[in-house]
């Protein structure tokens, strides 16, 4: 397999934000005597904000509207997001691809304002990308698992062949979106998600960390001993 372009999800893949989503959801649900488990979280991951919240309310039956939940969660998230850091292996891989002139782009279901807030203290990472596609971009008619966001990202990279666009995802909805787009996808699941859904789940390869990704396996420039980790 010869990969020429790479597309990266953000939450839980590039940045350690999924932990914060879990913390905030547990804080809100605790008022109703509930906890936020992986059975629900696994279905929400990768969805756009309002779609994810609608699913949460339906699954739990809590007496909040979508707007009420979103408003409260945003307040809580803004207190925590500035402290997010890149996930293990991210800086090494992204710098490596950039140094070797491999086109790279972020495709996140987060809306643009949320992306800007999450990324503001991680500019060293995000300035390396050739573009950012957000879930509320006009071209995105349908959220994951529809392929819209990845097809839009491909278009902004110059429309390379689908088979040469490698997607990196942490969510099951994201894997399905990449498959629906006709692209190979590397799944980097949280260990809790991997335990709940064992196997590859349609991904090209499953790794428990980007630290374990081997670029040479996909025809990308290999790491060398001088690469920064």
pLDDT digits (tens, 9 = 90+) for 9-43: 999 999 999 999 999 999 999 999 999 999 999 99
Every domain of the chain and the residues it spans: 5-15+86-218, 18-82
pLDDT for residue 224: 86
Q: Does domain 18-82 have CATH number 1.10.150.240?
A: yes
Residue 132: pLDDT band by 50, 70, 90 thresholds? very high
pLDDT digits (tens, 9 = 90+) for 107-121: 999 999 989 989 999
What are the residue numbers of the active site?
A: 9, 11
pTM of the model: 0.91
> Would you give the DSSP letter of residue 171?
S
- What secondary structure does DSSP assign to 133-197, as a single string? EETTSTT--S-TTSSHHHHHHHHHTT---GGGEEEEESSHHHHHHHHHHT--EEE---HHHHHHS
pLDDT digits (tens, 9 = 90+) for 70-86: 999 999 998 998 889 99
pLDDT for residue 226: 60
Total Cβ atoms within 10 A of residue 120: 11
> Domain 5-15+86-218 has what CATH class?
alpha beta
Residue 155 pLDDT > 60: yes
pLDDT digits (tens, 9 = 90+) for 143-152: 999 999 999 9
């Amino acid at each position: 397999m010869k990969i020429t372009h790479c597309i990266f999800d953000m939450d839980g893949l590039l940045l350690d934000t999924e932990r914060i989503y879990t913390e905030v959801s547990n804080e809100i649900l605790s008022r109703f005597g509930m906890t936020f488990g992986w059975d629900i979280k696994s279905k929400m991951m990768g969805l756009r904000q309002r779609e994810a919240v609608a699913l949460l309310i339906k699954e739990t039956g809590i007496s909040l509207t979508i707007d009420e939940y979103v408003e409260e969660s945003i307040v809580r998230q803004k207190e925590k997001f500035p402290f997010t850091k890149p996930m293990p292996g991210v800086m090494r891989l992204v710098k490596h691809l950039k140094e070797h002139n491999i086109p790279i782009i972020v495709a996140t279901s987060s809306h643009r304002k949320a992306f800007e807030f999450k990324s503001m203290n991680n500019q060293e990472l995000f300035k390396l990308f050739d573009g950012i596609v957000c879930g509320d971009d006009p071209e995105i008619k349908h959220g994951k698992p529809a392929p819209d966001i990845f097809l839009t990202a491909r278009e902004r990279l110059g429309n390379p062949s689908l088979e040469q666009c490698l997607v990196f995802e942490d969510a099951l909805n994201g894997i399905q979106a990449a498959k629906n787009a006709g692209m190979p996808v590397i799944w980097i699941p949280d260990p809790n998600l991997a335990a709940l859904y064992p196997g590859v789940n349609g991904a090209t390869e499953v790794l428990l960390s980007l630290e374990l990704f081997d670029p040479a396996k996909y025809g990308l420039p290999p790491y060398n001993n001088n690469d920064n980790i």
